[in-house]
């Protein structure tokens, strides 16, 4: 009879697996998430082919940008998480892209009106005035962002009931873009089914997507993890819903 992986073994797996970069390959077979219908990586690749200078903000490990088949002559990425910077540099070296280490709240380290295209997948925070400043007239900002209350079911499974989400609403992004002098030309929203098949996948996800349960540690949240483990074993999986929106704005 095959061995059934225990709670402690699953916790240990999720707590020790590397989380650098912004790929989710480790979850293969352990968790799934629907993809947004607009195909962000394809949109980015198509836009990159038609510009001279582009910037990817909060590139993570450079995973999305690395898929661009026809990069522009000037291609730059920024990343604020130190562990991701060498990963991004390795991924993006074949494209001739430069990766600039930044701090989260600092202005973008570029002169005014230098980029035709700015892209950003799941930015921690969008500094709309800075986006407007570094875009050339007629330039475009294209971003897939985290929506309000994303995977809220998982947050509440660990933390208990939460107040209604106050941040990351698409309409707030539109208002901020317009206040910075940009014109929003596209806005799309999606709710995506996210399924976790074991508690190790949950632990790894919470270590990587740190805003889901701020300050998460296995030690601090072990009782809630045990309850969720028992629930997954009883039901076969745990289902949450990720929320995303796509916003495009022009200078």
Q: What are the mean pLDDT values of the chain's consecutive 10-residue runs (251 residues total)? A: 80 94 89 96 96 97 95 97 94 97 93 98 95 98 97 97 94 98 98 98 96 96 97 97 98 97
Domain count, the chain: 1
Quickly tell me which residue has 């500094």 as its tokens: 127
Crossing angle of helices 199-208 and 7-16, rounded to 10°: 30
Q: What's the distance, CA 244 to chain centroid?
A: 10
Strands (E) in the chain, as ranges, are 31-33, 53-56, 74-79, 98-101, 115-121, 135-146, 183-196, 238-250
Q: Answer whether residue 149 is part of any domain.
A: yes
Q: Residue 225 has what pLDDT?
A: 98
Q: Answer whether residue 155 is part of any domain.
A: yes
The C-alpha atoms of residue 169 and residue 192 are separated, in whole angstroms, by 16
Q: Residue 1 has what pLDDT?
A: 41
Q: Answer whether residue 184 is part of any domain.
A: yes
Q: Residue 3 has what pLDDT?
A: 66
The C-alpha atoms of residue 88 and residue 65 are separated, in whole angstroms, by 9
Range of the domain at 233: 7-250
Q: Answer whether residue 1 is part of any domain.
A: no
Burial 71-80 (b: 16+ CB within 10 A, else e): bbebbbbbbb
Q: What pTM was computed for the model? A: 0.90
The CATH number given to whatever domain includes residue 188 is 3.40.50.150
Q: Answer whether residue 31 is part of any domain.
A: yes
Asked if residue 100 lies in contact with residue 59, where contact means CB atoms within 8 angstroms, the answer is no
């Amino acid at each position: 009879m095959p061995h059934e992986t225990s709670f402690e073994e699953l916790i240990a797996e999720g707590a020790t697996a590397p989380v650098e970069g912004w790929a989710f390959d480790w979850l293969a077979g352990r968790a799934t998430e629907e993809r947004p219908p607009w195909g962000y990586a394809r949109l980015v690749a198509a836009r990159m082919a038609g510009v001279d200078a582009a910037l990817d903000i909060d590139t993570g490990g450079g995973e999305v940008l690395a898929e661009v088949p026809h990069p522009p002559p000037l291609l730059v990425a920024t990343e604020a998480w130190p562990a991701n910077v060498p990963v991004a540099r390795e991924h993006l070296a074949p494209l001739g892209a430069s990766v600039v280490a930044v701090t989260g709240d600092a202005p973008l380290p570029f002169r005014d009106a230098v980029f035709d295209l700015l892209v950003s997948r799941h930015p921690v925070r969008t500094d709309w005035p800075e986006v407007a400043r570094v875009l050339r007239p007629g330039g475009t900002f294209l971003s897939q962002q985290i929506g309000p209350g994303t995977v809220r079911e998982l947050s509440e499974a660990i933390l208990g009931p939460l107040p209604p989400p106050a941040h990351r609403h698409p309409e707030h992004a539109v208002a901020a873009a317009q206040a910075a002098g940009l014109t929003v030309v596209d806005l799309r929203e999606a709710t995506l089914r996210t399924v976790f098949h074991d508690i190790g996948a949950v632990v790894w996800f919470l270590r990587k997507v740190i805003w889901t349960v701020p300050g998460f540690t296995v030690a601090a949240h072990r009782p809630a993890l045990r309850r969720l483990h028992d629930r997954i074993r009883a039901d076969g999986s745990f289902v949450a819903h990720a929320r995303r929106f796509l916003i495009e704005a022009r200078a």
